[in-house]
A and B are shown apart, each in its own frame.
Chain A
Amino acid sequence: GQQLNQSPQSMFIQEGEDVSMNCTSSSIFNTWLWYKQDPGEGPVLLIALYKAGELTSNGRLTAQFGITRKDSFLNISASIPSDVGIYFCAGQSNFGNEKLTFGTGTRLTIIP
C-alpha cells in the first residue's frame, strides 16, 4: 500500500537540541496528523492540522500543514529523553471516515 515519504529516516541528537522532520506526498491531503509510537505501543496522536498553511503547537511541538497540501513538517524544540520514539506523519483525505495513510516514520534517538 501507499506510504508517505518521511525524512530523515532516523536522527541521533543530544538532549536539548531542536529536531525537524518532514513528510511529503504525491497526493493532496485535507488533513495532516503527526503521531508518536513508543516500543510495544500503538501510535499516539500529537498534533492534527486541518487547513493548508496552518501552524499548530502542542507544548514543545510545532507542526505545519504545507501550502501545497502535499507536505507537512514537525519540529520539536529543546528535546528531552522522553521524546525518544518513532514519529509518523499521516495524511487523510476527509475528516473522520477516510483512512489514514501513514509515512515511513522517523526514529528519534537521544545520545546521552
Chain B
Amino acid sequence: AQSVTQPDIHITVSEGASLELRCNYSYGATPYLFWYVQSPGQGLQLLLKYFSGDTLVQGIKGFEAEFKRSQSSFNLRKPSVHWSDAAEYFCASRGSQGNLIFGKGTKLSVKP
C-alpha cells in the first residue's frame, strides 16, 4: 500500500536558521507530491506541489522542495525561518484513487 513517512515528529530551529523537513514516499509510478502547512485550529494550506518536470519546486512563503526519485524523498526546505513559520507541516502523495495520503506531520517550533 502507498505510504508517506515523515521521520521527524517535532523539530525546533532558531529564527533565521535554515530548515529541512524530511518526507519519504512509497509508490512505484511517478508520484504526485504535496506539502501542506497547518496552523493551530486551522485547515491545511498548500505550500507547493510536484507533478513532473523540474525536480526543485518553489512554493509560497519562501519554501522549496526537491524531488529525488532515487531516494524516494521530497524534502521541504527554507533558507531562513521566521517565527511565523511555527506550525505543523504535512507531506502528502496522491493515492491511486485520487485521494491524498498524508504523513503523520512534523511540528515545527521556532526559537527566538
State whether these chains interact. Answer: no
